[in-house]
Structure 1
């Protein structure tokens, strides 16, 4: 019985992680909508201008101050030609997100070497 429960826990953990995706690539363009504060990354690893967060209101469970930090990281990546990795939960692929709409499930980012 303990083995069955252990195996079920392993399978559940794997399915949770399987729902998370990483979009990695160079940043070519970063913009902020002056009316909403929405932060858009024009292209990053298959993404095409999704709204990641807002610099004026909490959006995607990300505060405006943390969104401003992401803006700085994306600009740094673009200027230095480094890649970033953006993590999302609930999506199947980076191309699932429509341009100019909220990229739901965004929760983590890394500025790569």
Structure 2
């Protein structure tokens, strides 16, 4: 079981798409506070590498790609749930959390 918590491709049963990871949404003028809070939350869930690019997506023919895509999508929805709706609409069509992260204010 100890290896499960070290694997970024493991979700806790309480990790759901509707989860809100930070108490204040990104409004544009609070980026540094928001980004610190979301990074702490993602790090605690062992998912920060999906955002900062240290967990690269496997090639699409790799068996791990579907698994990576699942966790990328979960992190993507967590980020979209933590930003103002105007910001979410401007980044909602990205397919990679690293691309969303790079485009945020």
Q: RCO (CA 8 Å, sep 6+): is it higher in 1 or 2?
A: 2
Q: Which has the larger radius of gyration?
A: 1
| Structure with a larger share of its residues in strand | 1
Query: Shared fold by TM > 0.5?
Result: no
| Structure with a larger share of its residues in helix | 2
